[in-house]
Amino acid sequence: MESTLSAGQEVFSPEQVERARRYHRPVYIVRVLGIALSLIVFGLLAFSGFGDALHGVVDGLPWWGEALAFGALIVVVQSILHTPLAFWRGYLHEREWGFSTQTIRGWTIDRLKGLGIGVVLTAIPLFALIATVHAFPGWWPVPAAVGAALLVLLVGFIAPVVLEPVFNRFEPLPDQKLADELRELAVRAGVPVRDVLVSDASRRTRKHNAYVSGLGKTRRVVLWDTLLSRGEPGEIKLVVAHELGHRRYRHVARWTVFSMASVAAFVVLLWLLFQWDALLDAIGASGPGDPRVLAFVLFLGTVLELVFQPFTLAISRRWERDCDRFSLDLTGDAESYQRTHRLLALENLGDLSPPRPAYLFFASHPTARERLALGRRWEEERAA
């Protein structure tokens, strides 16, 4: 079999590489600014008079009211301070490059929805941490670690049916013939699905995407309607085959287990650090059950997320490569594979040549060049 694309042939022109570079370089700067801002805000709230002033708003409430209110206030302040960066990145920049289909009103509503979910998913777990310390002062790390792990598991189950519908509407794939073909593909993949759902992503963007989410009965494969509107069955089958690979290899379940272990370890680390009186004095907290520690909890979480981000993204890229190969093995369609990943890179403006730090800290997927090279190697192996 002759390779669809020879190893020496360049699939992207210098102009295409440069265009992607101009789109992504400002985004990288804004992402770095966002990380720095989070560290500064949480650091100030944890260790400075800024945090004392914010805590003073809720001081005097019962400990449970103080914990709930202070956690919510931190999330709101963080969101407000990040809004200019989020507005530039999610609205202005995307409109400038022809991707966003939202109005300012639509973007604002989404931002408020995200804030509401952020308050619930942050303030309530933080409150639960303080409540556990009060309920089990001598051995709180055990129930706190177990509770945090179970919360991660719960969110994994309910996110597709509770959180995702907050932002998008989902419906079964309307093309019955294509739906039947995709179900047959899933059977051959060893992961039968009842439905492949379509999300109304076109309400926000012109980009194309698909994903898997959920656990157990809430597992789903979701196609963006922007991808479906292209009307390329080979491309759609290839993308779905890739997503079926995530299910076949149990990536969502494995990541959930990893996340559960990570949050449990985080609780143990908090317990160790809260034995250090100098740290509690710096925070201005009387002990681990004092709501004043909550800003430090978020500060430490942000630091650790940044430290481990290259590791977690390397895992993500490895899994994406595994699913790329799975999609080729399942469909046997090297031509659609090459065409799909080239078009997705060009139409979504994927960074074709990212700086190494950006690749390590921000890239959850291999570059288009890496994916196309994998396709060429697959063809060469088949031809050998």
In a domain, 177, yes or no: yes
Q: At what angle are helices 104-135 and 63-87 packed, to 10 degrees?
A: 150
Which structural domain range is residue 29 located in?
14-383
146 found inside a domain: yes
pLDDT at 124: 93
**223 in any annotated domain:** yes
Phi, psi (deg, nearest 5) at residue 40: -65, -45
pLDDT of residue 5: 42
Which pLDDT does position 163 carry in this prediction? 82
Helix axes 104-135, 294-331, angle to 10 degrees: 120
Q: Is residue 357 part of a domain?
A: yes
Question: What local confidence, expressed as pLDDT, does residue 208 receive?
Answer: 84
pLDDT of residue 72: 96
Q: What integer pLDDT is reported at residue 10 of this predicted model?
A: 61
Residue 2's pLDDT is 39
**Which mean pLDDT values do the consecutive 10-residue runs of the chain (384 residues) have?**
42 92 97 97 95 92 94 96 97 95 95 95 95 94 96 88 87 85 87 82 87 71 83 83 91 93 97 96 94 97 97 97 96 92 92 95 95 95 85
Report pLDDT for 9.
46
Is 324 a member of any domain? Answer: yes
Of 82, 42, 88, which Cα lies nearest the Cα of 305?
42
Residues 179, 294 contacting (CB under 8 angstroms): no
Q: Is 369 inside a domain boundary?
A: yes
293 close to 42: Cβ distance less than 8 angstroms:
no
Q: For residue 48, is it within any domain?
A: yes
Within a domain: 288: yes
Terminal Cα distance for the chain, rounded: 8
Max CA pair span of the chain: 76
* Structure confidence at residue 160 (pLDDT): 81
Composition of the chain by helix, strand, coil, percent to 5: 75, 5, 20
Q: How many domains does the chain have?
A: 1
- From start to end of 138-290, where are the E strands? 170-172, 196-199, 210-213, 220-224
* CA 342 to each of CA 247, 339, 352: distance values in angstroms, whole numbers, following the listed order: 24, 5, 10
